[in-house]
Amino acid sequence: MKNISFGQYYPAESIIHRLDPRTKVILAILYIVCSFVCQSAIGFTALIFSMLAIILISKIPIKTILRSIKPVIIIMVFMAFLNLFLVKGGVELTVWKITIYSKGIYTAVTSVLRVISLIIGTGIFLTYTTTPIELTDGIEQLFGFLKKIKIPVHEFAMMMTIALRFIPTLMEETDKIISAQKARGADFTNGSIVKRAKALIPILVPLFISAFRRADELAIAMECRCYRGGEGRTKLHVLRYRTRDFISMFIFIAFLAGLILINCFGVEYPFIENGWF
């Protein structure tokens, strides 16, 4: 259990780590838009290169990133197969009795590319380089305008911060309780489903008790420090946009504009029309 670091924050020294969390939220959104704007082969080539560039700049090992793609591989394979066999158009290609089309191949490849860029984009900007606390702070400020229509943004952000803050604590607690019950011979891996579900009771009961106890203690501790919600509260770490934030946003907007331009002037399936297949 110790191996699960929630939020997967990867501590490293990179320019992406140092960006303002608000910038990173915006960049993640821009990058998702980019991957959907892409249509031409040139566009997708640019997307692949941008992905590699972002990974290199973030200084996060490729291995870590591949691990985050692993859970969705099945979905990607499924998607690729559907596209491969169902999309018609372009040059026909018959192997044994199965007919596939060049357009099918193209959409299969591009849809997989889109999903990968989605995961890498959000992963690098949001989870790998930003601590959960920074992220909620950024989201709170980014959506601060919603306060005007009476949405308690600060309270939501506080709830999220507390929830995130306590995930590792509760995981550690769970770990301890599991060890303690194992020390008394509890068995969580063998037996029928009913038996295994029953084996969870000795973990869940103490875990709930301790979660409520912690919530109680935290509420009292906050009350003691006169916490009264967001009104008139100042921050310890004031978020400020710096030059690097503006530069990175400019680069992304330029990239998006470039992709749109390619779509306007570029040819959609160059190799199909040239008969490369």
Partner 1 sequence: MTKIKLENISYVYSPGTPYEVTALNDVSVDITEGTITGIIGHTGSGKSTLVQLLNGLEKPSSGRVLVDGTDIWEKPKEISKVRFKVGLVMQYPEYQLFEETIKEDIAFGPRNMGLDEAEIEERIALASSFVGLDEELLEKSPFDLSGGQKRRAAIAGIIAMKPDVLVLDEPAAGLDPLGRDEIFKSIVKYRNETGATVVIVSHSMEDMARLCDELIVMAHSKVVMQGNCREVFSNAGELEKIGLSIPQVTKLMMLLKEKGVCVDGGVYTVKDAVSELAKLFKIDH
Sites of contact with partner 1 (CB under 8 A): 2-3, 5, 10-12, 176-177, 179-187, 201-202, 205-206, 209-210
How many Cβ atoms are within 10 Å of 73's Cβ, its own excluded? 12
> Which CB atom, from 184 or from 240, has the smaller least distance to partner 1?
184
Three-class SS of residue 238?
coil
> Which CB atom, from 104 or from 123, has the smaller least distance to partner 1?
123
How many Cβ atoms are within 10 Å of 247's Cβ, its own excluded? 13
> Which CB atom, from 2 or from 235, has the smaller least distance to partner 1?
2
> Which CB atom, from 111 or from 210, has the smaller least distance to partner 1?
210
Minimum gap (Å) between residue 36 Cβ and partner 1: 33
Structure tokens at 66: 């591949």
Minimum gap (Å) between residue 108 Cβ and partner 1: 34
Minimum gap (Å) between residue 93 Cβ and partner 1: 44
CA 21, CA 24: separation in Å to the nearest integer? 5
- Using the CB atoms, write b or e for 18-43: b if 16+ within 10 Å: ebbbbbbbbbbebbbebbebbbbbbb
Minimum gap (Å) between residue 277 Cβ and partner 1: 44
